[in-house]
Structure 1
């Protein structure tokens, strides 16, 4: 309706000088007229020039005085024409704000004598303030000095009106042509595509924002940890085998077959394939011997080692199974020091609660070199964790089947104001390393921690099920910030 009115009017007139007046004269909404003008201007049917007009409108206080009179006049009229009135009595007759402003303005105008007794100094006054406010309300113009006076008293505020003046554009027509935006199958079948006029393609227009993917908090922290390992000269181990044999997961680590961790209550064993297809037989024999009767200065566990237990397939319970394979492969080559790390998923048959899941991520690092000592392990741990922003460390002796000595790692948590356990560490036992074929002076230091715990601390998550698993809120993944660890 607004479009027809504008194009039709310009057919017989040179210009629409004021879109606001045009809208009121034709019974149209100003917003509708403005939107149509913008659209027609974009297609060059019309040329539009901005118009700005500043007008004044009354504040709530100004509207009140326009209806009831200014405070100074209200106060003047409250004083008896002949005689006087006590100031306290006068105050009771007026609104507190009216009394306060009226005293100031009436005294300034020398209309009254202000003291304990208030009396008139003149008998008649004009309410110029009210008259000015009413004139503004009626759309009349007033002097600049009067405007400044009312503005200083915060009785009026400026209001800017925006509109357009309109003339015919280079593409003017009394009716907008409908241009096609798509070439359809029907157009081609009917052959009317030859007569269609298509909308010009705007190469400068921005397309809709693509709904890009978002990194999970675990992936962000994982990448930061990878960067730390790489800065320290570590090489990442391949961790693509979730299914592992009991041999590589337990036996090669010198973990006895009767150990509680190998029970089905703690480990997920596979039904199919239930056993591994092949193992390095010469190495298996050496592992069996050290379990049963020891060697390399050890008495072993002195039990009958069973091959069928070692053959069982399972979901790996730790990434140390990967470390075992890597060390075995390293021992088959001329010795060269190595630093390895891995960050990947492991599986435990645990009851799920706010701090435990049946699957989680393990971070593991190890250093293989000649003559390493416990002091080297402590030094590497201090370097590693300081790059995570954990500079206060403590170590506590612990027991692991495949490391001796072993240490639990504690860090002081500034937020919790207490020491918290952050990982486990140790030196791999000779019973594990020497059957692989390493020289006797080669030592391996290693440590491990979970990925979920530091991520929960960094992102303020107190339930692991809100971080990992099918109950994760997808909006959390979209809005979580970039991970920043305390890297020195």
Structure 2
């Protein structure tokens, strides 16, 4: 059944772009589709390319906390608003795991007074863990593979309308080889060095949306939604120039510590001339953005010196207080 579906589809279409979607649309187990594709590839009936996607999903425990609240909040709500409750009685109300984690975290947060009897020290609490889990669950973006360390000058420069005399085209940054034109064997230590720089040296948040009928309003809406999830609502957009997007926008957010607006990213709509070499239909548009990590972090935490985030003067206590770092760490 899977083989017939694949070969029948390829008779009238150039390719199957995503085996997962192909299997889901036809109600066929994805593993069966993959096995058939590998078999056809072995006989050289088809060419294949592996596509790896990394997505954030909640574990069963995470889903439970997202729905019912974190253990510390569940414990806090089980304690009477007035008076106190015995430790044994409270333990009967909660799952043993919830009770153990809840006591530890609620006591650490100074929400409750611990002893033979437990009472509230505050009347209201904010469940930041639950909020963060819901944000992860609600996000609909997928991370794209970014493991192409070597790219052709056409896609890296020409397709992006990079000027011929741009410094990035200098011989010290771009290398042209005739022999060999490609290679499959690289020194392992060299690969590890490149990997380390690639994964740890760049802190950009980049994204794109491809669809029909997209406008600048969609781009602004996505960026406002993205930053609102981080707690940043004071945004401004300023017209800008990029060789590969038209129109283009710089993104600014207000820094309370500086008392002024600071740039936190760049964005725009890809030029139609850029999309044509990629084979997109004429009525398809792409909106894209590139955002910094450091400046939004400084805004969110009221940091006015970049040295407080990077370097030997970093306050490790500040990092440990970050709720994102505490998820799943005991």
TM range (shorter): 0.3 to 0.5
Give the TM-score normalised by the residue count of structure 2: 0.46
Which structure carries more relative contact order (alpha carbon 8 Å, separation 6+)? 1
The structure with the largest helix share of the pair is 2
The structure with the largest strand share of the pair is 1
